[in-house]
A and B are shown apart, each in its own frame.
Chain A
Amino acid sequence: NAGVTQTPKFRVLKTGQSMTLLCAQDMNHEYMYWYRQDPGMGLRLIHYSVGEGTTAKGEVPDGYNVSRLKKQNFLLGLESAAPSQTSVYFCASSHQLNTEAFFGQGTRLTVV
């Protein structure tokens, strides 16, 4: 049982480049989330989805876009990467609102 899988695990981008982070879950969860983790700041929610075809903004959505075309996948896109987007990105999913959220292993992104 893979749980929540993120790809890639590491990436270095140049300023202005674009990329997509993929999150896949095999637990048939409705809710999926993208967080970024920065030193001393905990996790901050970027975007989330409450079901296939839906997306919503979180706490820090600027500079990111997301899509949930299939229930099992939640994609996070950076159209024009900036050094401020250097961070560790975590995807999570949960069955319902108040049930346990399962996290992926994280993607370490460096923008130079």
Chain B
Amino acid sequence: GEDVEQSLFLSVREGDSSVINCTYTDSSSTYLYWYKQEPGAGLQLLTYIFSNMDMKQDQRLTVLLNKKDKHLSLRIADTQTGDSAIYFCAERKGSARQLTFGSGTQLTVLP
């Protein structure tokens, strides 16, 4: 999806925090999502945030939304090797019935 952009790769050391960034272009986006894809598997919803929120925390995950800059980030605290995966940002525009996905960020956690 051209409308949603992510950097392709991120490497962190085990125990550090990871921050995965995403930018989107449509100001009418209502919901923004983070999905995780492990090797050989489908996508799993990690968390989502409604556009009238600016932060959401769920255990080790923190989502920050800057609507002015159309910037979304996912912070993973105390990153573990099991967090190694591809992380997709996705947006739902207005009343659209489908999601628009970014290209995914490959997170590699080094021991």
Contact = CB atoms under 8 A, between A and B. Distances in A.
Given A48-B98, A50-B97, A58-B98, A42 B42 contact: no
Interface in B65-91: 88, 90
B36 to A, nearest CB: 11
A105 B101 contact: no
A40 B103 contact: yes
Interface string A40-57: 111111001010000010
Given A40-B103, A92-B43, 13 more contacts: A42-B103, A45-B98, A50-B97, A90-B42, A97-B92, A97-B97, A101-B43, A103-B42, A103-B44, A104-B42, A105-B40, A106-B41, A106-B42
19 contacts: A42-B4, A42-B102, A42-B104, A43-B90, A44-B1, A48-B97, A50-B97, A56-B97, A90-B42, A92-B42, A97-B92, A97-B97, A98-B30, A101-B99, A103-B42, A103-B43, A105-B41, A106-B40, A106-B41
Interface of B: 1, 4, 8, 30-31, 40-45, 48, 88, 90, 92, 95, 97-99, 101-104
